[in-house]
Chain A
Amino acid sequence: GQSLEQPSEVTAVEGAIVQINCTYQTSGFYGLSWYQQHDGGAPTFLSYNALDGLEETGRFSSFLSRSDSYGYLLLQELQMKDSASYFCAVRGGTYGQNFVFGPGTRLSVLP
């Protein structure tokens, strides 16, 4: 089976940097994705790491360590619009056909 852990809530102020961690247990690991979801909306894709290391996309970066079964999402220069829930998702299964989501981290950005 697959299981993921994330902190339930994180709070930060505008302009700050915040890191959201994700640890996972899985078989057939292919990669780790991150999604953002605003209240009442659908999840939207942020990033994907298939290999160890850091991927940078604008203000967002994502890191993966396959040996530690660990990843994180780094959000820089926080803005009020970044207040949302963030989910990590493991791509796994026999040939990468499954995407299993973590419980989510609710980020609140304060003025």
Chain B
Amino acid sequence: NAGVTQTPKFRILKIGQSMTLQCAQDMNHNYMYWYRQDPGMGLKLIYYSVGAGITDKGEVPNGYNVSRSTTEDFPLRLELAAPSQTSVYFCASSYTTRGLGTGELFFGEGSRLTVL
């Protein structure tokens, strides 16, 4: 199984450019997440989705957008890139029912984004 797949793995953007980070999972998980991790820091939740057509903001949503048209895919859109968005982005998924679950997130390998 591929698990959680993120593309691209590395990208350099110029200030003001836009791009989409792709995330796909093949485990039929209902919940999906986008985190960013700055050097030496913890993971900050950007957006999450509890199923196709349902998304919600996390701790740091400004400057980002998401969509969830299928169970498998959860792309993250960066509009008007800024140097503050230089970070490593992780997509994750889990299978959870209301109040139940193992508490386990499955992570992709990460996408390293630099904005110059």
Contact = CB atoms under 8 A, between A and B. Distances in A.
A96 B108 contact: no
Interface residues of A, number: 26
A99 B105 contact: yes
Interface stretch (B10-18, B63-71, B95-103): B95-103
B44 to A, nearest CB: 8
Given A99-B33, A101-B43, 15 more contacts: A31-B103, A35-B105, A41-B109, A43-B43, A45-B104, A48-B103, A48-B104, A87-B42, A89-B103, A91-B101, A97-B50, A99-B105, A102-B42, A103-B42, A104-B41
Interface of B: 31, 33, 35, 41-45, 48, 50, 56, 58-59, 90, 92, 94, 96, 98-110
